[in-house]
Amino acid sequence: MEQPDYTIEEAAKAKGFLRIAGVDEVGRGPLAGPVTAAAVILDVCQIPEGLNDSKKLTAKKRDAVEVQILEKTEWAVAHATVEEIDEHNILRASHLAMERAVAALDPAPDYLLIDGNLIPRGLDLPSEAVVKGDGKSLSIAAASILAKQARDRLMVELAQQFPGYGWEKNAGYPSKQHRDALQTLGVTPHHRRSFKPVHNMLYQARNVAS
């Protein structure tokens, strides 16, 4: 199984860059909640033990690695709101969250490793897009963990305000419980109205009302 390592970061350092941040986002697919991004600068002498792509770690391991990331790295987490997702689109909103996470690092990084195949247009630093970067770069893997942990906790909080949708378990993704609750409980302020299942429900409701 492929494991992320520090090879890409070392190549950037060989070009003279010193503060290299890995950037990743989570939450493009859910029907509800924000999209969340994180930016992480690793100290090569203090790489958290067990660091890997967040999707390859159990919840218990993510919790343990997250504690180390928060203690041993420079990091920032940021969000783009449901309103921004609906106003722009999910890709642009995810890039806004990435831009905000990078901007929150102080001092600023001098090189970025961006998960995916696109570099957000609002980033004016030297950058490199890394497809499936959370499985290749330790810095991006660390960002993937922080972003997921932060968003999952936020969805647990929202689940307490809007029970029945199962957000504490499905994090806003379209599980059966979530889809069934949309039919029985309706659309909340935290649902993405531009996403087809939610949009279709609202369209049908308007037609019935008229």
Does any domain span residue 132? Answer: yes
Tell me the backbone φ, ψ of residue 84, rounded to 5 degrees: -70, -35
How confident is the model at residue 207, as a pLDDT?
54
Domain count for the chain: 1
Mean per-residue pLDDT for 91-114?
98
Kindly tell me if the per-residue pLDDT of 210 is higher than 50.
no
Instruction: Provide the annotated binding site for a divalent metal cation.
Output: 24-25, 115
Does any domain span residue 194? Answer: yes
Nearest to 38 by CA among 54, 19, 57: 54
Q: Among 27-31, 40-44, 182-186, 197-201, whose mean pLDDT is lowest? A: 197-201
Helix (H) or strand (E) holding 140: helix 138-161
Does any domain span residue 26? Answer: yes
CATH number, domain at 59?
3.30.420.10
Instruction: Provide the annotated binding site.
Output: 24-25, 115
How confident is the model at residue 202, as a pLDDT?
80
Share of the chain above pLDDT 70, in %: 96
Mean per-residue pLDDT for 92-104?
98
Task: Specify the amino acid at residue 61.
Answer: K
Does any domain span residue 139? Answer: yes
Kindly tell me if the per-residue pLDDT of 117 is higher than 90.
yes
DSSP 142-183: HHHHHHHHHHHHHHHHHHHHSTTS-HHHHTTS--HHHHHHHH
Does any domain span residue 157? Answer: yes
Does any domain span residue 1? Answer: no
- Number of other residues whose CB lies within 10 A of the CB of residue 172: 26
- Write out pLDDT tens, residues 147-203: 999 999 999 999 999 999 999 999 999 999 999 999 999 999 999 999 998 988 886
Does any domain span residue 2? Answer: no
Does any domain span residue 149? Answer: yes
Range(s) of the domain holding residue 189: 7-209
